[in-house]
Structure 1
Amino acid sequence: MAEDGCFYDREYFTAYYESKLKQGDANPTSVITHEKIGPWFFPSKQHSNMIQTAIDKGMIPEDQAKVWKEKKQQKQQKQKKEKEKQKKMEELLKKADAGDFLALHHLGFNFENGVDGRSFPRNERNRCPTPILSLAELQSFL
């Protein structure tokens, strides 16, 4: 759901908003309400659940539900990878806490330089807030 209270596909909404900015429109407007609108997009759990229920009960034809299912599967895979990274980072933290110099080095490198375009905020130096890379992935940088 966008700031105007209307529902859009996130991809298309983002593309529309960015195209308006590139055209020099400093204050893009909603295509439905014609009011000024910002880039904020809020998830609507109720609508997602309603669509999923309709798909599960066969109320939406399989060919039309294909894109929804693919996006859901991609989201689940991404969540699974994030959980794996979290687990690997927790293991790395345990090793570093136990005095493993290499693990500590990898954490320090990851913290100081950031990986995948992400670096840690300077005020969170006590612990790594989120997993970035596995130990094997970090070793590839050495």
Structure 2
Amino acid sequence: MNENTFHGNVGKNPEINYGKNNGIAVVNFSIAINSRRFDRAKGQWVTRPTVWKDVVCFGEFAENVYDSIAKGMAVTVTGEEVDDSYTKESYEPGGEDIVIRRHKIEARDIAVSLRAQRAKVTKVERSRGEQPSDQAQRSTAPQQVG
């Protein structure tokens, strides 16, 4: 496993969709990673260009993320970088197919930074004997954050 941790700000409100075949929640959003370094030669701090990372998460975890984070929030995402590339077929006879290269972070955990914001945590209650996968397959209508 190639697990990494990224700290950044949510770039836009998360979007939620449910799988057509299995009903499992899928949430997508992006984070902006900003950093700077001290340039000794210039004697000043240099801001590096913003790096954007797309994030995806699944199931009950995805629903919790959807209900909990919003654009602008500082978060820490831990997960695995996965290849989400695909080939776009050419519509012209004899034309070449185009490979679209995409990488995402498949999140294993997401934490809200409390450095400059406050959070109120609510534990998700499950019925006795209910497994997380049982709850993830129910179709609920989560409310938009923010």
Does the alignment reach a TM-score above 0.5? no
Bigger Cα Rg: 1
Which TM-score applies when normalising by structure 1? 0.21
Name the structure with the higher helix share: 1
Which TM-score applies when normalising by structure 2? 0.21
